[in-house]
Structures are given as structure tokens and as C-alpha cells.
Chain A
Amino acid sequence: MESDIENRPTAQAKGLLPIDIERIKADFPILDQKIGDHQLVYLDNAASTQKPRVVINAILEFYRKYNANIHRGLHYLSEKATAMYEHTREHTASFIGGVQPKEVIFTGGTTGAINLVAYTWGEENISEGDEIVISEMEHHANLVPWVILAKKKNAVLKRIPVTPDGYLDLTNIDTIITQKTKLLAVTHMSNVLGTINPVEALAKKAHAVGAVVLIDGAQAAPHMPIDVKAIDADFYCLSAHKMLGPTGVGVLYGKAELLDAMPPFNLGGEMIREVRFDKVTWADLPNKFEGGTPNIADVVAFDSALHYLEELGMDNIRQHEMDLTAYTLDQLSAIPGLEIQGPRNSNQRGGAISFTDSDIHPHDISTFLDSKGIAIRAGHHCAQPLMKIMGKVATARASLYIYNNEQDVDALVKALGEMRRYFGL
């Protein structure tokens, strides 16, 4: 029987398939509920995605059958838990493009991963007068650590501007990335504009001047095939909870030679080789960066999320979201008073779609939609500098995923029409 399962062609192996959304929806217990009188329509996926039954069950099963601390235990449960935890590491390594498992560090999330780099690599490698290049569309997670590091080291923070239609403005990129650039830290996909950035080309430019490249993949990794080797990223960060996995798990991918040279971050158990009162030596990768008991159960369950995504095929997921994004942009464009942010071409963007109404504040939009069972997000989306550049105090954002279909978008569009009447417009 086992060989049958192994030989079963995955969606990916069969090529691009139309995704059966109704079947997928049925895999997510939380989606089958009413909010007040209305069927839940979940469009807040850029903030966090829902979990399929296999992920929920994996957490349950771990605590029921395998729970123990990992790595040092000399008993069955500890060995089993260790194997499961390390299996997810191997799986993650293959998921992001076939890197070495020891190059995959588990963190609490993307924020934790970026901070790890800022406080270790950044501390050791950034000095006075060095330049750190970011973009104007960064999430605070890939902005605040660099603002603080630059201040502390008297380094210079330089920005790649954003065009009015939501792309990175690369016109003057050769004056932004210079011989002084030590780090390029840029998002793969904007959480506000949906823009997919040309990270490969940017990495090439940065490497040409000897800079290190960190990519914030929190929004990209859930929605498209990721190959960190093709990008030639030195660091790539992502969050499990934005890709069907549990909260509290993030990934820092780093090239082995960089990670090896970096000092550890969390000092304590698990990350040491030998401890004496006068001297401590560090463990090898990846343990050096995983001091303390990690989030074992959730890392183990993340494996099931990766399986689920692979079963659908990342190419299929990307295709589905491109189609649905194009449909959504089309439908939203027809609503009077609505202004859509970000690229209009669904080939160059993901399904996080920010919009504003000429008269109604995003928080009122969100509250109204909530009364119709529709979950979106409203606010500055942890990108206050970008909001300022866009000339907005806040936006409303609907963000799509694999369990969303045209009916969900239609429900949003219908409610937005009713909203204007409700507020007397």
C-alpha cells in the first residue's frame, strides 16, 4: 500500500490543474461556519491563513502520541519527536529550493528570523558609514530592525522608492546600491500592494558590490514556488502561519558559510557544544541558532502544511491566485468611489489587494463587511512609511488564498455596494 501512495502522481507532477475549491474548502473546518446570519468569507489571508484538518490533526496527534523534548533524550518519545522535528527541517529545505537542512533555522516567525540576522550578522558586519538598502514597501518587520541597527552603528539607511502604480522604482538603482552597500533587505511580495519584486535581479546587483541579500518571503512563500538558490538569496525568511501552518513557527534560511560565521543569538541550552565556567563553545548548525526548547509540536505540524501545499502544487496555487486576483481587480474596479492600490497586472502581483473608498474610512469598511460575515483587514498593515507615501492614513485589504473562489469575491463586491447605501452615499 505504501508504494501506491508514493507513486500517486501529485497535482504538480500532472502539470497545471484547475484547483477544486469546493473540495479544498471542505478541508478547512473553520470555514464552515456562520458569522451572525452570514456564511464566513475569509479574506484576511495575508495576515494569517486558516489551517486544514491535516495540520490541526498533526498538532493533536503529536501531543497525544509523541510529545517529549527533542535532541538529548535517550528514550523512545524523545527520539521520535526529534526525528519528526528534523524531518520538517528536511522538508522545508526541499520546499524552498533544495538547500541543505542545516541551512534551515526554525524561529518564531519572519519577524524573529529577521531580528536574528540583524542582531547577529548585522551587529558584526555593519559599521559606521556602511549602507543598508531597503525598499519603501517594507513591512515593519523588515524595516524597524534596520532603522535601529543603522542608528546604533551610524550606518546609512537607503531606500528604493515605490512608483505611484506600486512597483519598485529602479531608475536610480545604481546610485542606491553602491560600493558602500553592505546589506540589501527587501520583500519578495508586498503585504500592502501585492507587488512581486524582481528579487533575482536585485540580488545580482547587490552581490556585484559584495553586499549580503536578505529577502522577506512572508507573503511570497505561501503563494508561489520558491527557489532561494535561483534567487541567490543569502537569507530568506518566512512564516508558517501564513501558509496553512501553525502560528509561532518561522524559518530563517541562510547560506551555510554565513550562518557558520555568525555568532549565536539565543544563548542557553541546545545551542552549545561544551560549557565550562570560563569558556563556552557553540554547537554546529542548525542547533547554534535554536537555543532553548523550540516550538516542537507546531514545527512538526508545519510538515503537514507543506505536504498539503505540495499536493496541490505551488504552480497550481499561483495560477489559481493569478486568475482570482484578476477577477477581483476587475470586479472592484467597477465599484464607484473605490480606489485600488498596487499593480493591475495579476502576473506581477499576488492576491493581497488594498483599496480605499473616497468617503468611507477603512475601519468603517472593515466593520461593515464584518457584519456580512466577511473578514478583511483595515489599517496601516505594519507599513506606516508606505502609507504616508501613498497619501493614505490606512487602507482596507482583501487577501486571497487557495480556498477562496469567485463566490467569495462576489460576496465582497455585493457587500461593498450595500455599504455605500448604508452610509448614505
Chain B
Amino acid sequence: MSGSLDDMYRDIILDHYKAPRGKKPIEEANIASDGHNPACGDELELKVSVDGSTVRDVHINCKGCAISVASSSMLAEQIKGKPLEEVKGLAEQVRKMLKGENVQLPEDTDDLDALKGVRNFPVRIKCALLAWVTLLEGIKTFEKGTGESKTINLEETD
């Protein structure tokens, strides 16, 4: 173990894990994307409704470990009501952060900083990444207007 347990399971992470946001199904979705992490068995279903260029609502259902559930719950909380461009930028920033780069997250997204703790637990980084790369894939498909997103398989997205 290269980090302390509480570094990874910060209170805010456990809070999201115990009561994940974005569980409520949404009626219409313009973005639908699934994520899968075969090494852990984590599975994630993401639906986003976009109004013009703003995220109106998010549904995310993640079956997995505390980290993947908390990360997807934080995603749901963070992106609701934000312009799609900003959401895209944020997802990119989070991805970079989890991969070890020094990034400055926007001020109103402080909570996401808690995810940094996983960087000391190399095998768990993918757990935190899953929701964010699944979102990016969904947005990509939405922007191209090519219908269904491919299922994100984390083994292939290193």
C-alpha cells in the first residue's frame, strides 16, 4: 500500500458512495453511454439530457466499488446545469488529474479534488476514471450525431 486508507476513502467519497447522486431515471436523453471495467467488473450506465447546449439532467447508475460509485455520483452532481463545452473541459481536466498531471480545477468543483487520493493506489485509478471517460465518449457521439455510443471498455482506453 502506497497511500493511507483515509487518503482514498475521504469523507466526501464515502458520502457519495453511500448516497449516490443521479440515480433517478430521466425521461429523455440525448446522450447515452455505457462503461465497463472488466478487471473489476464495474458497470456504468450514463444518460444525459441536453437542452440547447446546456446539460439539463443526468442519470447515472454505477455498479462497482466505492471509488467508481463515488466518482460517478460526483460527476452527476457537477455537470447538471452546466454548458456542454464546460462539462467537456471538466471531464478532460479530471482525466488528466487522475493520470497524475497537475491541473487546476474550476473553483466550484472543489469536491473533485478528493478523487486525487486514488493516485496513490494505482490499480484503483481506473475505477475513478470510468464515469468520466464514459461521459466523454457519450459527448463525442452526440456531437458527431452518429447515434449510439460504443461501450467504453477501460482496458482499451489507457
Residues of A bordering B, CB below 8 Å: 35-36, 360-364, 367-368, 370-371, 379-380, 384, 387, 392-394, 422-424
Given contacts A363-B40, A393-B41, A394-B40, contact A371 B66 (CB under 8 A): no
- From B38, B41, B66, contact of A364 by CB (8 A): B66
* CB proximity to A under 8 Å, residues B54-95: 63-67
Confirm or deny: B39 has a beta carbon within 8 angstroms of a beta carbon on chain A: yes
Asked if B14 and A423 sit within 8 Å, CB to CB, the answer is yes
Question: What are 27 contact pairs spanning A and B, CB under 8 A?
Answer: A36-B1, A36-B4, A361-B65, A362-B65, A363-B65, A363-B123, A363-B124, A364-B65, A364-B67, A367-B1, A367-B5, A367-B8, A370-B1, A371-B5, A379-B41, A380-B41, A384-B38, A392-B41, A393-B40, A393-B42, A393-B63, A394-B40, A422-B9, A423-B14, A423-B17, A423-B18, A424-B18
Question: For the complex, what is the distance from the CA of A379 to the CA of B123, rounded to whole Å?
Answer: 12
Minimum distance in angstroms from B71 CB to a CB of chain A? 13
> Which of B41, B42, B63, B121 has most chain A Cβ within 10 Å?
B41
> Which of A363, A379, A384, A392 has most chain B Cβ within 10 Å?
A363
Asked if B5 and A379 sit within 8 Å, CB to CB, the answer is no
- From B39, B63, B64, B121, contact of A367 by CB (8 A): B121
Report chain A residues within 8 Å CB of B123. Answer: 363
Asked if A394 and B5 sit within 8 Å, CB to CB, the answer is no
Confirm or deny: B127 has a beta carbon within 8 angstroms of a beta carbon on chain A: yes
Report chain A residues within 8 Å CB of B14. Answer: 423-424
Q: A36-B4, A360-B66, A380-B41 are in contact. List 18 more A-B contacts (CB 8 A).
A: A35-B1, A361-B40, A362-B65, A364-B65, A364-B67, A367-B1, A367-B121, A367-B124, A371-B1, A371-B4, A379-B40, A393-B40, A393-B63, A393-B64, A394-B41, A423-B17, A423-B18, A424-B18
Asked if B127 and A363 sit within 8 Å, CB to CB, the answer is yes
Report chain A residues within 8 Å CB of B65. Answer: 361-364
Confirm or deny: B34 has a beta carbon within 8 angstroms of a beta carbon on chain A: no
Question: For the complex, what is the distance from the CA of A363 to the CA of B1, rounded to whole Å?
Answer: 13
Report chain A residues within 8 Å CB of B1. Answer: 35-36, 367, 370-371
Residues of B bordering A, CB below 8 Å: 1, 4-5, 8-9, 14, 17-18, 38-43, 63-67, 121, 123-124, 127
Question: For the complex, what is the distance from the CA of A384 to the CA of B41, rounded to whole Å?
Answer: 10
Report chain A residues within 8 Å CB of B127. Answer: 363
Report chain B residues within 8 Å CB of A424. Answer: 14, 18
Asked if B66 and A423 sit within 8 Å, CB to CB, the answer is yes
Minimum distance in angstroms from A363 CB to a CB of chain B? 4
Q: For residue A392, which residue of chain B has the nearest CB?
A: B41
Question: For the complex, what is the distance from the CA of A392 to the CA of B66, rounded to whole Å?
Answer: 16
Question: For the complex, what is the distance from the CA of A360 to the CA of B18, rounded to whole Å?
Answer: 10
Report chain B residues within 8 Å CB of A36. Answer: 1, 4
Question: For the complex, what is the distance from the CA of A363 to the CA of B122, rounded to whole Å?
Answer: 13
Question: For the complex, what is the distance from the CA of A370 to the CA of B18, rounded to whole Å?
Answer: 22
Report chain B residues within 8 Å CB of A367. Answer: 1, 5, 8, 121, 124
Question: For the complex, what is the distance from the CA of A367 to the CA of B40, rounded to whole Å?
Answer: 13
Report chain B residues within 8 Å CB of A35. Answer: 1
Asked if B66 and A361 sit within 8 Å, CB to CB, the answer is yes
Question: For the complex, what is the distance from the CA of A140 to the CA of B18, rounded to whole Å?
Answer: 34
Report chain A residues within 8 Å CB of B8. Answer: 367
Question: For the complex, what is the distance from the CA of A252 to the CA of B8, rounded to whole Å?
Answer: 44
Report chain A residues within 8 Å CB of B66. Answer: 360-361, 364, 423
Report chain B residues within 8 Å CB of A423. Answer: 9, 14, 17-18, 66
Asked if A387 and B41 sit within 8 Å, CB to CB, the answer is yes
Question: For the complex, what is the distance from the CA of A424 to the CA of B11, rounded to whole Å?
Answer: 11
Report chain B residues within 8 Å CB of A360. Answer: 66
